[in-house]
Amino acid sequence: MTQVLDREQIAEWSGQQPQRPWRKKPARLQAWIAVAALLPSALVALIFTYTEIPGPVLLVAVFFPLQLLAAGIAAIATKGRQGAADSVIIVLSVGATLFSFIILTSVLGSLIVRGIGALWGEDGFRSSFLFQNNVYINPSTPLEYGGLGHAVIGTVLIVLIASLIAVPIGIATAIYITEVRGRAVPYVRFFVQAMSGIPSIVAGLFILTVLIVSGAMNQSAFAGGLAYAILMLPTVARTAEEVLRLIPEELRTGALALGSTRARVVLRVVIPAAKTGVITAIILGVARVIGETAPLLLTSLKSDQTILNPLGNPIAALPTYIFDNVALPYPGAVTRAWGAALVLMILVLILFTLARILGRDRLNRFR
């Protein structure tokens, strides 16, 4: 039996607004929520105004406990004891989010405020800080002269060498664990997990004792890249493994049923399907090592010149540049260190932006 609807019924139904009864809160509940939210803030504001207790201490030691207590009382008064646990979880979740946001904002704000002086002066943008080196510069030289161009080039060389070594091995390890599934999978996974806990200084000491002290190579960008590769490899391998596990098994079995070999399935089906996740794994690996200082102090050292040969002499990098300048008793040197930290943060931001652009599906490009 077919039911025919007239136009008036269709117009009436299409004009109806969706009902969301879960959004309607009683006035009593809203009043308790307002009191529970405003009372701790007012008490903390009074304590901060009339005392000299630092704000972060008040936030952690006074505001959060008062907020938990007020939320628990409000929940018991409106929903009973069962609502107390929910209110405590909500307060902890929102508090942790706000605390993380405040810390991140504080770090980024301090980095921008203190580092912008090296990039921007009275005459405008200082391009010399990005492109010049420190061959004829001493710590007391004004900021108008010298820069970190040699350190940026060194960082790019070291990270590029580490990526060329760690990315193929890491992705191949993930493919072996998820696709090949050989007998050595438990041992490979164990060693990958063990490598993820290696301190950065240990990776530098390993390259120093095995390759540099033995005379196999000099302290250079290649040695620093090897140390970075040891730290980067487990991050790429573990992240790529988790991404490959998310690929539906039906894609593999369907490709095999059509007559494809296991290698062709991995190269033509699995890897393209996991392209976005694999790129994310690579970027996470780069972000893991790009700011490490300890391995470079033992493997690549430092230099005031622009070095392009990765196998030649010691080379500068942004982490070692920051390490050398931040402890000097000269305001200009400290400002250079903050400026280098800001440039390093911008490089990481560029890498993540490129990852988002390159990781988009092809379909999204045509929409």
| Residue 41 structure tokens | 């803030």
Q: Which helix (H) or strand (E) holds 295?
A: helix 294-299
CA 70 to chain centre: 35
How is residue 23 annotated by DSSP? Answer: G
Phi, psi of 327 (to 5 degrees): -95, 0
| pTM score | 0.78
Listing DSSP states for 63-123 in one string gives IHHHHHHHHHHHHHHHH-THHHHHHHHHHHHHHHHHHHHHHHHHHHHHHHHHHHHHHEETT
Give CA torsion, residues 143, 325, 337, 154, to 10 deg. Answer: 100
The tens place of each residue's pLDDT in the chain, 367 residues long, gives 555 656 676 666 666 666 665 556 667 767 777 777 788 888 888 888 888 888 778 877 888 888 888 888 877 877 777 777 777 777 777 777 877 888 888 888 989 999 998 888 777 788 888 888 888 888 888 888 888 999 999 999 999 999 999 999 999 999 999 988 888 999 999 999 888 888 999 999 999 999 999 888 899 999 999 999 999 999 999 999 999 998 888 888 888 888 888 888 888 888 888 888 888 899 889 988 998 999 999 999 888 888 898 888 899 999 999 998 988 888 889 999 999 999 999 888 887 787 777 666 543 543 4
**Nearest CA to 158 among 267, 299, 51, 281?**
299
Q: Helices in the chain by DSSP H: which ranges? A: 7-14, 27-50, 55-58, 64-79, 82-119, 128-131, 149-175, 185-195, 200-207, 221-245, 249-257, 262-265, 271-273, 275-289, 294-299, 318-326, 331-358, 362-366
Residues 6+ apart with CB under 8 A from 225: 157, 158, 159, 160, 161, 162, 164, 165, 310
**Nearest CA to 237 among 203, 194, 269, 270?**
194
Residues 6+ apart with CB under 8 A from 173: 188, 192, 233, 237, 240, 241
| Residue 113 structure tokens | 């405020």
Q: Which amino acid is at 236?
A: V
Query: According to the model, what pLDDT value does residue 127 have?
Result: 86
Query: According to the model, what pLDDT value does residue 318 have?
Result: 93
Query: According to the model, what pLDDT value does residue 360 have?
Result: 63
Query: According to the model, what pLDDT value does residue 158 have?
Result: 95
Residue 134 CB coordination number (10 Å):
25
Distance (Å, rounded) from C-alpha 191 to C-alpha 26?
57
Distance (Å, rounded) from C-alpha 119 to C-alpha 134?
16
Query: 120-121 and 124-125 as β-strands: parallel, antiparallel, unpaired?
Result: antiparallel
Nearest-5° Cα angle at 169, 163 to 175:
125
Distance (Å, rounded) from C-alpha 109 to C-alpha 98?
16
Q: Which helix (H) or strand (E) holds 124?
A: strand 124-125
Query: According to the model, what pLDDT value does residue 85 have?
Result: 76
SS3 125: strand
The CATH homologous superfamily of the domain defined by 149-366? MetI-like (1.10.3720.10)
Query: According to the model, what pLDDT value does residue 15 have?
Result: 66
| Residue 244 structure tokens | 């490959």
The domain spans of the chain are: 25-118, 149-366
Enumerate helices (H) and strands (E) in the chain, giving the number of each.
Answer: 18, 2
